[in-house]
């Protein structure tokens, strides 16, 4: 079993249309290297369990949420730093988180 704590400094967001279960994807990168994926699935259906993917030949975490969480996740990406994506494959628990203590009431970029 693996445990990932992958920091990242940039992202790409995709909002899908057409016959696909994935409704949106945010891919995260560290120094331009693909480092993880946040997937968003229909609120009415089951969310695919968190796990590993390896589209570039290297395993990275894939954390999944219902589509209703997309704006909250985008808010973290826009206003918080530094960030990381976490996954423990032994229990399937994953999250997007801040990697340092955050002062109360502070917003980066202000």
pLDDT, tens digit (0-9, with 9 covering 90-100), for 58-93: 999 999 999 999 999 999 999 899 999 999 999 999
Question: Is residue 9 situated within a structural domain?
Answer: yes
Question: Is residue 85 situated within a structural domain?
Answer: yes
Q: How many domains does the chain have?
A: 1
Distance CA 90, CA 106 (A): 35
Strands across the sheet containing 60-66: 10-15, 24-30, 33-41, 60-66, 51-53
Q: Above 90 in pLDDT, residue 33?
A: yes
Range of the domain at 42: 3-98
Quick one: pLDDT band at residue 101, thresholds 50, 70, 90? confident
Looking at every residue in the chain, the average pLDDT score rounds to: 93
Question: Is residue 103 situated within a structural domain?
Answer: no
Name the pTM for this structure: 0.90
Question: Looking at 47-51, 65-69, 98-102, which range is the least confident one?
Answer: 98-102
Share of the chain above pLDDT 70, in %: 95
Quick one: pLDDT band at residue 102, thresholds 50, 70, 90? confident
Question: Is residue 75 situated within a structural domain?
Answer: yes
From residue 30, how far is each of 6, 7, 16, 49 by CA, in Å?
Answer: 8, 7, 24, 24
Of the candidates 42, 80, 59, the residue with the CA atom closest to the CA atom of residue 96: 80
Which H helix or E strand runs over 65?
strand 60-66
> pLDDT value at position 109?
54
Distance CA 73, CA 68 (A): 10
């Amino acid at each position: 079993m693996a445990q990932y704590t992958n920091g990242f400094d940039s992202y790409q967001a995709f909002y899908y249309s057409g016959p696909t279960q994935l409704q949106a994807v945010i891919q995260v990168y560290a120094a331009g290297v693909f480092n993880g994926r946040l997937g968003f699935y229909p609120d009415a259906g089951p969310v695919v369990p968190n796990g590993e993917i390896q589209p570039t030949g290297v395993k990275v975490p894939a954390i999944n949420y219902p589509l209703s969480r997309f704006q909250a996740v985008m808010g973290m990406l826009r206003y918080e730093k530094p960030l990381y994506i976490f996954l423990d494959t032994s229990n399937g628990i994953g999250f997007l988180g801040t990697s340092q203590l955050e002062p109360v009431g502070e917003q980066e970029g202000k």
